[in-house]
Amino acid sequence: MNLSEGKDKFLQSWGAYGSSWGVNRTMAQIHALLMIAPQALSADDIMEELKISRGNANMNLRALIDWGLVSKELKAGERKEFFVAEKDMWKVVKNIIIQRKKKELEPMLKVLDELSSVEGDTPEAAEFVRMIKEIKLFSGKADSTLDTLVKADSNWFIGTFMKMIR
């Protein structure tokens, strides 16, 4: 397989992969493109490679920066902005965990907390509260585990944890 075929396949797969996890397909593709780029790319480079509009490129680049997966790079003497992706996979995953934890897990925990105070003496109310508490207990544990994982450094995770769990 040559580079151009491989690149296309990677861009398309990473897009589909992201898509099935609720991440905008184009955002995932821009991320993929930057991850395999040997140097920083400009918005124009990205627009051309992925055949997308300037608006689309801009919005998704900003989102990637927000997630801590991409950063801006200024080149001396150049007026336009260049973009580079974080290439350390452990950092990539860590940032994704941090974001999704903040945007999805933590709000859910808050909702579960409110819901566990539902009143009522019917079997329906009893089962509702029981199940909400079960979900909350589990989610709370997942939340702490992720906290620990995020605080742990790459070496610890890849070394100790992986060996331990095997």
Q: Which of 69, 64, 70, 72 is nearest to 92 (CA)?
A: 69
CA distance 9 to 3: 10
Runs of H (alpha helix) within the chain: 3-19, 25-35, 43-50, 54-66, 89-100, 106-115, 123-151, 154-156, 162-165
Q: Contact letters (x/-) for DNA, 25-64, by CB under 7 A?
A: xx---------------xxx------xxxxxx-xxxxx--
Report in angstroms how near the CB of residue 54 gets to DNA at its nearest: 5
**By CB under 8 A, residue 137 contacts a copy of itself:** yes
Site for DNA in 62-91 (CB under 7 A): 62, 78-81
Residue ranges in 29-58 that form contacts with a copy of itself under rule CB under 8 A? 35-38
Residues in contact with DNA by the rule CB under 7 A: 19, 24-26, 42-44, 51-56, 58-62, 78-81
